[in-house]
C-alpha cells in the first residue's frame, strides 16, 4: 500500500541511497575529464577511446530490464549494496590497469555497478514516499546525483594532476567499497511496520511476460522515447566527448574545458528541483516541457554545428551547454510516466525499461562520434568534430519523431480509460491532433 506521508526514516533511507547514486554518477562520468589521459595511458585513438564509454553505457543499458526484475525480486537494499561493491572494485581495477583490455574489463565492472543504482533508488522512493511527493524526490535525487558529475570535472582534474592516475582512482574506489557497509546495514526496503512482500523465484516465462506487459503500456513506451531523446545529448558530452571537443575543436585549455563541462552539471542541479516541483504540481505540463526541450536542443545543435568557420565563441558554447544540460532534468519525466501507468509490483520493471532508452541512445551516439571522428580525421581533419557530432544530432531527431508518435498513442489510452470510467493520473483536453474515437485502439490500450 502507498504511504500517506514521508517520515524521518524515509528521508534517512533516501539520503543513504542517494549517496550510492552520487558515487555511481561520479564513476560513470570520470572519463569525461580523464579521456585524454586514458588515451595516453592505454595508447589508443578516438575510436578505441570511444569503446570505453560504449562498453560501460552498453552494459548499463543492457542491464536495466534485468535490474528492474532483480529489484522486484531481491529488494533495493541488496541491489544498492552490490552496486557499491561493484563500483569500488571496478575503479580499483581501473587504477592499476595498464593494458587496454584490462581497462575495458574495469569499465564494464563499473557499468554493472552503475546499472544497479538508479532503479533501486527509485524503487525505495516509491515505497517510502507518497505518490504526490514522488516527482519532487526523484528530481532531488537526480540533482544530488549530478553533484557526482560536478566532482568529476574540475576536482577530478586537479586530483589527476596532483596525485596521478593510480592514486586518484584507488582513493575513490576504496571509499566506495567502504560505503557498501553502510548501505547494507541501514537501508530498508519498506517503511517500518509495513510487511515486506513475499519474494519467490519467478520462472523465466513469467519474467518475459512481465517485461512484455510493461512494454505494452503506452505510458512505458512514451517514457522510453522521452528518456532516449532528452538524456543522450548532455550525457554524450559529459561522459567522454565534451572535453575533446572543447580542447581539439574549440581550442580551450583542459582546465577551462573541464570548467565549461561543469555548466552541464550546474544546469542539472538547478533544473531538477524546478522541473520536479513543476511537474509534481501540474503533471499535465510534463510533455509540453519535453517538447519544449527537444525543440531547443535541435536548434542548439544547428547553431553549434553550423557556425561559420567551426570556432564557436566561448559565450555561445556556455549558453548552448546550459540549454543542453536541461535534458537531464527533463529526462526524469520518463520515470514519472512509467510509475503512473503501471501497477506497483511492476514499477521496477517499467522504470528499467524506460531507463534503457537514454543509455541506448548514448551508446549509439558515442560510438558514432568515435567512428566518424576516426574516418573524418583521415581525409578532412578540419571537419573533425563538426561531422562526428552529427551522430548526436541524428539520434536526437530519431528520438523526437518517436516521442511524437507515442505521445499521441499514450493520450489516446488516457482518453479511452476515461471513457470506461477509470481513474487516470492526468486529465487531458482533446485536440485535433489526438486519435479519433473510431481509430483502431488495440495498440492504445494500457495492459492490465
Check if the beta carbon of residue 52 is closer than 8 Å to that of residue 163. no
Spatial distance between the Cα atoms of 385 and 25, rounded to a whole number of angstroms: 25
Angle subtended at Cα 45 by Cα 43 and Cα 47, rounded to the nearest 5 degrees? 135
Query: How far, in Å, CA of 317 to CA of 393, rounded?
Result: 16
Q: Which pLDDT score, from 0 to 100, does residue 395 have?
A: 95
Look at residue 404 in the predicted model and tell me its pLDDT.
93
CA distance 174 to 168: 10
Q: What are phi and psi of 284, to 5 degrees?
A: -70, -10
At residue 448, the pLDDT reads 35
Residue-by-residue pLDDT tens, the chain, 448 positions:
456 667 888 899 999 999 999 999 888 888 877 877 888 889 887 778 878 878 887 888 788 778 877 887 788 999 999 999 999 999 999 999 999 999 999 999 999 999 999 889 988 888 888 877 777 788 788 778 877 777 776 788 788 888 888 999 999 999 999 999 999 988 888 887 666 665 656 666 777 787 888 888 888 999 999 999 999 888 888 877 888 888 888 888 888 888 888 888 888 888 888 888 888 788 888 999 999 999 999 999 999 999 988 889 999 999 999 999 999 889 989 988 888 888 767 777 788 788 889 888 988 898 888 888 878 765 555 567 888 899 999 999 999 999 999 988 888 887 887 777 776 777 777 777 775 554 444 433 443 3
Positive/negative CA dihedral, 331, 336, 338, 344: positive
Question: Quick check: helix, strand or coil at residue 425?
Answer: coil
Domains and CATH numbers, the chain: 8-190+204-419 (1.20.1250.20)
Looking at residue 200, its pLDDT comes to: 59
Q: Give the integer Cα–Cα distance in Å for 361 and 291.
A: 18
340 class by beta-carbon count within 10 Å (0-12 exposed, 13-18 middle, 19+ buried): buried
Sequence-ordered list of residues with C-beta below 8 angstroms from that of 399, at least 6 positions apart, any chain: 225, 228, 229, 230, 232, 294, 357, 361
Report pLDDT for 91: 93
For residue 119, the model assigns a pLDDT of 83
Q: Which residues fall within 8 angstroms of residue 299, CB to CB, at 6 or more apart?
A: none
Tell me the whole-structure pTM to 2 decimals.
0.74
Amino acid at each position: 500500500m502507498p504511504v500517506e506521508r514521508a517520515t524521518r526514516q524515509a528521508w534517512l533511507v533516501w539520503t543513504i541511497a542517494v549517496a550510492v547514486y552520487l558515487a555511481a554518477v561520479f564513476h560513470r562520468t570520470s572519463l569525461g575529464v580523464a579521456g585524454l589521459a586514458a588515451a595516453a595511458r592505454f595508447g589508443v585513438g578516438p575510436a578505441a577511446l570511444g569503446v570505453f564509454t560504449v562498453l560501460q553505457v552498453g552494459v548499463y543499458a543492457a542491464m536495466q530490464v534485468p535490474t528492474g526484475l532483480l529489484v522486484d525480486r531481491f529488494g533495493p537494499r541488496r541491489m544498492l549494496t552490490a552496486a557499491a561493491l561493484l563500483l569500488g572494485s571496478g575503479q580499483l581495477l581501473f587504477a592499476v590497469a595498464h593494458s587496454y583490455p584490462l581497462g575495458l574489463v574495469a569499465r564494464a565492472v563499473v557499468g554493472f555497478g552503475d546499472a544497479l543504482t538508479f532503479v533501486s533508488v527509485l524503487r525505495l522512493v516509491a515505497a517510502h514516499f507518497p505518490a504526490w511527493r514522488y516527482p519532487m524526490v526523484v528530481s532531488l535525487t537526480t540533482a544530488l546525483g549530478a553533484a557526482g558529475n560536478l566532482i568529476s570535472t574540475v576536482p577530478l582534474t586537479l586530483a589527476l594532476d596532483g596525485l596521478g592516475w593510480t592514486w586518484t582512482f584507488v582513493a575513490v574506489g576504496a571509499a566506495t567499497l567502504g560505503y557498501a557497509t553502510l548501505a547494507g546495514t541501514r537501508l530498508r526496503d519498506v517503511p517500518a511496520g509495513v510487511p515486506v512482500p513475499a519474494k519467490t523465484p519467478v520462472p523465466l516465462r513469467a519474467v518475459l511476460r512481465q517485461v512484455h506487459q510493461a512494454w505494452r503500456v503506452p505510458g512505458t513506451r512514451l517514457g522510453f522515447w522521452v528518456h532516449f531523446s532528452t538524456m543522450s545529448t548532455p550525457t554524450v558530452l559529459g561522459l567522454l566527448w565534451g572535453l575533446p571537443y572543447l580542447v581539439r575543436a574549440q581550442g580551450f585549455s583542459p582546465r577551462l574545458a573541464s570548467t565549461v563541462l561543469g555548466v552541464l552539471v550546474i544546469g542539472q542541479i538547478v533544473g531538477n528541483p524546478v522541473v520536479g516541483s513543476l511537474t509534481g504540481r501540474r503533471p499535465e505540463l510534463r510533455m509540453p516541457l519535453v517538447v519544449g526541450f527537444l525543440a531547443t536542443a535541435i536548434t542548439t545543435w544547428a547553431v553549434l554545428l553550423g557556425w561559420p568557420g567551426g570556432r564557436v565563441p566561448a559565450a555561445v558554447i556556455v549558453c548552448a551547454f546550459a540549454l543542453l544540460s536541461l535534458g537531464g532534468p527533463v529526462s526524469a519525466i520518463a520515470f514519472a510516466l512509467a510509475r503512473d501507468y503501471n501497477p506497483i509490483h511492476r514499477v521496477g520493471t517499467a522504470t528499467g525499461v524506460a531507463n534503457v532508452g537514454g543509455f541506448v541512445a548514448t551508446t549509439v551516439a558515442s560510438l558514432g562520434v568515435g567512428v566518424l571522428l576516426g574516418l573524418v580525421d583521415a581525409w578532412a581533419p578540419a571537419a573533425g568534430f563538426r561531422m562526428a557530432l552529427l551522430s548526436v544530432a541524428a539520434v536526437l531527431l530519431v528520438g523526437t519523431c518517436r516521442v511524437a508518435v507515442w505521445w499521441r498513442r499514450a493520450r489516446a489510452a488516457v482518453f479511452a480509460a476515461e471513457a470506461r470510467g477509470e481513474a487516470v493520473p492526468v486529465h487531458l483536453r482533446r485536440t485535433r491532433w489526438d486519435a479519433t474515437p473510431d481509430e483502431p485502439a488495440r495498440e492504445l490500450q494500457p495492459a492490465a
